[in-house]
Amino acid sequence: AIGVFTDKNVFEAIESKPIHYTLCLFAPYIIHHRFMCPIDEISQQFAALISHINTKLHVSLPCTKPPYPLSAFLELPHIRVPCLHVMDTTTDHADHLRQYQQFGRLTHLHLLLESHREYLSVFLSLLHGVMYDPNGPLSHDTRQYIALMAASRYSCVPVLQQCEMQYLKLRGDVSWLKSGLSSAPVKYQKLAKLNAMLAHQPWLIQATHIAQLVQGDDHTWSIAELTQACVILVVYHFVCSMYQGLCVTPEIDTYYAGTLQQQQQHGLAALDKTQKSGDSDGDDADGGDTDGDVQNVLDAALSPMLPPRADDDDDD
């Protein structure tokens, strides 16, 4: 499960840590808004911030070119996609603003599908209606949790990370995420079997499977709730299939949220060790020798596609 961090955790993490530590925590979010925010005034300010960070801390955060492509297929030299992070026309910009207003973010899938504009329009209308329309018995955070259940059937990391981030933004119950589905109420655990059948063997579903969810003990679904839940499950099974079929890469901020615990345990721990070593050797408070370590940590965090750098393993 992806690590869950509260505002208190974040403030405690940066309160007494060096700037390099803070940079490793927030750089992916800065870079995401630099390249994926369609509001020029915002993206330009983030570009200026990245340029300032690179100059002051001697690191190489991407400023003019995204750190990795929208799809792993785009690493192949013969692949060409019409729309990539570039808003060439007024129509492009207006569409991006509309999507940003609807979903609070642009995704790599949105941008890849721009070569099929009519389909993209219908697809986004469906997704927005299913997840954000005020009608229906399920709350918005519950919808995100059910979408998370759907994505877990396909182990689709980009969609899992998106759903978890949205679930937390909607102030869903954090305890439901701590130990997988076993942390959720029994009502959702009972839905897991239907989720699996819808994902892999929908032709085996019978009336008895539905009856088990709407009849019996206190942990049951109403017909309206179950209908809406099934629609969400099916839609997100389809979304996961698109992500996997197109080899869509995760957005940098959601990818980093999913790897933050590992970076804290490994990369950031190494930074602390280097910082302490520098202090004991009489280095100044800026930790000049940590720049290379910061870049290594950032390289590992900023791209799910690039192999890790060949770092020195000796601890001398």
Please give the Cα distance from 178 to 287 (Å, whole number): 36
pTM: 0.73
For residue 7, the surrounding DSSP H or E stretch is helix 7-15
- Return the closest-CA partner of residue 297 out of 57, 66, 85: 57
247 is a catalytic site residue: no
**pLDDT at res. 230:** 96
Cα→Cα distances 234→19, 197, 229, 247, Å: 44, 11, 9, 20
Burial class from Cβ neighbours inside 10 Å (0-12, 13-18, 19+) for residue 108 reads: buried
Average pLDDT, the chain: 76
The 10s digit of each residue's pLDDT in 3-61 is: 455 666 666 665 666 666 677 778 888 888 888 888 888 888 989 988 888 888 777 88
Query: For a pLDDT cut of 90, what percent of the chain falls above it?
Result: 24
Please give the Cα distance from 130 to 305 (Å, whole number): 31
Please tell me what DSSP assigns to residue 23: H
- Return the closest-CA partner of residue 293 out of 5, 11, 31, 18: 18
Residue whose tokens read 């999507």: 99
Cα→Cα distances 93→86, 108, 109, 117, 196, Å: 9, 15, 16, 13, 39
DSSP per residue over 54-82, as a string? HHHH-----SSS-SS-SBGGGGSTT---S
**pLDDT at res. 1:** 36
The 10s digit of each residue's pLDDT in 205-233 is: 999 999 989 987 777 899 999 999 999 99
Domain boundaries, the chain: 19-68+253-302, 76-135, 137-248
Please give the Cα distance from 255 to 160 (Å, whole number): 10
Ranking 67-81, 157-171, 185-199, 228-242 by mean pLDDT, the lowest is 67-81
| Residue 292 reports pLDDT greater than 70 | no
**pLDDT at res. 194:** 94
Considering only residues 236 and 291, tell me which one the structure prediction assigns the higher pLDDT: 236
Q: Are the C-beta atoms of residues 262 and 168 closer than 8 Å to each other?
A: no
Task: Read off the pLDDT band of 153 (50, 70, 90).
Answer: very high
Chain-centroid distance, C-alpha 192: 23
**pLDDT at res. 87:** 45
- Return the closest-CA partner of residue 232 out of 191, 201, 181: 191
Q: Are the C-beta atoms of residues 144 and 131 closer than 8 Å to each other?
A: yes
**pLDDT at res. 6:** 60
Cα→Cα distances 236→19, 127, 249, 307, Å: 39, 9, 17, 30
The 10s digit of each residue's pLDDT in 76-130 is: 554 444 444 444 455 567 778 888 877 888 888 988 888 888 888 899 899 999 9
The active-site residue, picked from 156, 163, 230, 240, is 156
Task: Read off the pLDDT band of 66 (50, 70, 90).
Answer: confident
Q: Which token pair is 202?
A: 């929908």
